[in-house]
Amino acid sequence: MRFGRLIVLLVIAVVIAAIAYLAGPYVRAASLFVRVGNVGGPTEALARWTARGVTLMAPHDVPTRQGNVQAQFYRPDGRVRRTVLLVPGVHSMGITEPRLTALAHDLAGSGIAVMALALPDLMDYQITARSADVIEDAVAWMATQPDLAPDGRIGVVGISFAGGLSIVAAGRPAIRDKVAYVVSFGGHGDLSRVLRYLATGEAIQAPGVRTTPPHDYGVAVITYAAADRLVPPEQVAPLRAGIRTFLLASQLTLVNMDQATATFARAREMAKPLPEPAVTYLTYVNDRNVKALGPRLVPHLELAADPAASPERAPSVPAAPVFLLHGDGDTVIPTAESVVLAGYLQSQRVDVHLLVSSIITHAELDRSAAAAEMWRLIEFWADVLKR
């Protein structure tokens, strides 16, 4: 009789352990998005209390063919099974950008070691295949570090344009077997399509997906990249300096509105002494005049869109699972980009997981969301955490 009760208790213990093991990723995913979303109250307090402690390591230079690139490590307490390379999008602050540092810290609190690495070209508002080179080299380096990659594989999480670039890099032969998974958060499938959308408002169509008017930030970035084709050589540097000031001000609106307002004013002052046509271009940027500026950029879009920076034009696709997460009303990279990219990757026999969510804006989490939508997001990320 005692033996029978012992067997029953043992079975119950095994079942409880199995449930805890299977539920673990969901619990960690729920905790992650409660913290990322800053929902507040006792729910967030509990999530932060249950999260792992995180140590911010000293900055480290990672060798790449574009030179050494500075990276920031976030190490969770306890055993680490997986490390992810976290790559931000087009932003001059790079790995110091406040939203990125918060996301990196929250990811690490979920038990994932994080190496945040900003791409030099994206920090300079240029979307090129050189950035995929840097991602490839960073993954190759990380995969050789036993403390970062116990099984020789690395997860990759790319935000905005870094999402599409991460998929390009993950498909390259040198690292195809070194990537555990790729997450593209609001990323692109075809760069030329996205640039056309930003300039004209015309996006590729996908069933059930709405197209919203483009954000003015996008045409400012295109104008910056195409400045050497828009104005005489002597006007390129001052035009780019003015656009760079405007873009910095746009970024500061998320950090300090007083600084942002002063920086916007400085960008307007920088336009006044410029000759034509530079003064007109910078005025359009400062006025957020997408309707006037967009048509002027259209003739230069193909030269601005590096085909090698597009997942749908890459010579090979990733062997690892690809997770595509996109907001349903994105105004920087159209939502349809991830939907169409998912179809393309599936046609290439890639294991693809797609979630279009009303909780997501452009690569950000909106904390005002229905429980059902939040659960879909938790399920999506729990699947990532299992890898």
Element (H, E) at 281: helix 278-286
Per-residue b/e over 263-274, b at no fewer than 16 CB within 10 Å?
bbeebbebbeeb
**Interatomic CA distance for residues 85 and 71, integer angstroms:** 10
pLDDT of 227: 95
CA distance 218 to 237: 19
Tell me, what's the pLDDT at 8? 41
Query: What DSSP state is assigned to residue 81?
Result: -
Q: Where are the domains of the chain?
A: 41-190+310-385, 194-203+208-304
Tokens of 263: 């920086």
Alpha carbons 219 and 234: distance in angstroms, whole number: 22
Q: Quick check: 42 and 52 in contact, CB under 8 A?
A: no
Distances (CA, A) of 125 to 13, 171, 207, 212, 213: 55, 24, 31, 23, 21
* CA 223 to each of CA 123, 219, 245, 283, 373: distance values in angstroms, whole numbers, following the listed order: 15, 6, 13, 12, 37
Residue whose C-alpha is closest to residue 274's, from 246, 214, 234: 234
Residues 111 and 336: their CA atoms lie apart, in Å, by 32
Contact 129, 169 (CB under 8 A): no
Handedness of CA 29, 34, 35, 37 (dihedral sign): positive
Q: What is the pLDDT of residue 1?
A: 44
Residue type, 247: L
309 vs 220: CA distance, rounded Å: 19
Does the pTM surpass 0.85? The reply is yes
SS3 state at 31: helix
The reported pLDDT for the residue numbered 64 is 96
Q: What percent helix, strand, coil does the chain show, rounded to 5?
A: 55, 15, 35
The highest-level CATH class for domain 41-190+310-385 is alpha beta
> Residue 134 corresponds to which tokens in the numbers above?
């840097």
What SS3 state is found at 352? strand
Q: What pLDDT is attached to residue 364?
A: 53
Asked whether 36 and 69 are in contact (CB, 8 A), the reply is no
- Residue 212 CB neighbour total at 10 angstroms: 16
ω into 207 cis (within 30 of 0)? no
Report how far Cα 108 is from the mean position of its chain's Cα atoms: 16
Residues of the chain with pLDDT under 50: 1, 3-4, 6-47, 49, 367
